[in-house]
């Protein structure tokens, strides 16, 4: 029982019982991540996860010899050797998939999709037009036009993504071929 919580009300007791039952569903997902060097990411709020992913991609690309800069504008997250990149991030969902959300039609050339599971890292660098073509409207049903998303099972990405990465080595090769 949390410190300071006195359960002297039957409604509160029922509420605590329900929250404990629900927490077991989430605890099972956390067990999958136990011991993973990436588990700390799950503890972050959504906005902080995105910011952490941008820093991770920035640091990793810099460590691999690319010149990475913050874009200084809202239309993209980073420039890599002068190319404007939008960075999207997903941890592995309970369903076994990745979901990349909030794609917008802004000023970037490619979207860098980073997917992290407990023991694997996946990445793709997808031209904006291709990502936009395959993404689904996110808000407003079929009439929603401002944001899009796409998702897939981590172990079986769609065929159209195969030429844009998959592993870290693959995405580095794609990036090197794209930037020249």
CA separation for the pair 78, 101 (Å, rounded): 18
Contact between 62 and 70 under an 8 Å Cβ cutoff? The reply is: no
**pLDDT tens, position by position, 129-147:** 999 999 988 766 555 568 8
**pLDDT tens, position by position, 73-102:** 778 999 999 999 999 999 999 899 999 999
**How do strand 148-153 and strand 136-137 relate by DSSP bridges?**
antiparallel
pLDDT score at 41: 94
pLDDT score at 116: 96
CA separation for the pair 143, 63 (Å, rounded): 42
CA separation for the pair 21, 67 (Å, rounded): 49
The residue ranges of every structural domain in the chain are: 1-34, 40-179
pLDDT score at 25: 65
pLDDT band of residue 72 (cuts 50, 70, 90) is confident
Domain at 40-179: CATH code: 3.40.1350.10
CA separation for the pair 23, 1 (Å, rounded): 14
pTM, two decimals, is 0.84
Q: What is the mean pLDDT of the chain?
A: 88
Model confidence at 1: pLDDT above 50: no
Closest by Cα among 79, 67, 56, 85 to 164: 85
């Amino acid at each position: 029982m949390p410190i300071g919580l006195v359960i002297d009300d039957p409604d509160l007791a029922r509420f605590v019982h329900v929250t404990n039952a629900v927490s077991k569903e989430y605890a099972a997902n956390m067990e999958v991540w136990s011991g993973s060097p990436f588990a700390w990411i799950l503890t972050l709020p959504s906005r902080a996860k995105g910011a952490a992913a941008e820093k991770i991609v920035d640091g990793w690309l810099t460590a691999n010899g690319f010149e990475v800069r913050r874009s200084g504008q809202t239309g993209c997250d980073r420039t890599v050797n002068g190319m404007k990149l939008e960075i999207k991030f997903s941890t592995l969902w309970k369903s076994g998939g990745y979901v990349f959300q909030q794609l917008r039609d802004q000023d970037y050339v490619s979207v860098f999709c980073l997917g992290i599971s407990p023991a694997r890292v996946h990445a793709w660098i997808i031209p904006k037009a291709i990502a936009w073509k395959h993404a689904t409207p996110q808000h407003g049903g079929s009439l929603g036009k401002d944001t899009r998303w796409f998702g897939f099972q981590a172990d079986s990405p769609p065929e159209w993504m195969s030429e844009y990465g998959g592993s870290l080595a693959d995405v580095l090769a794609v990036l090197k071929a794209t930037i020249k």
